[in-house]
Amino acid sequence: MAKTSIKPLFDFVLIRPLEAEAQTASGIILPDSAKEKPQMGEIIAVGPGRVTPKGEKEAVVVKAGQKVMYKKWAGNEVKQGDEDLILVEQKDILAIVE
Q: What is the pLDDT tens value at each position of the chain, 98 positions in all? A: 456 789 999 999 999 998 765 555 666 665 655 455 668 999 999 999 998 899 999 989 999 999 999 998 888 999 988 899 999 999 999 999 98
Domain boundaries, the chain: 12-97
pLDDT at 94: 94
Rounded CA separation 73/53 (Å) = 26
> Do residues 62 and 44 make contact, with C-beta atoms less than 8 angstroms apart?
no
What does CATH list as the number for 12-97? 2.30.33.40
Integer-rounded Cα Rg, in Å, for the chain is 15
Give this prediction's pTM.
0.77
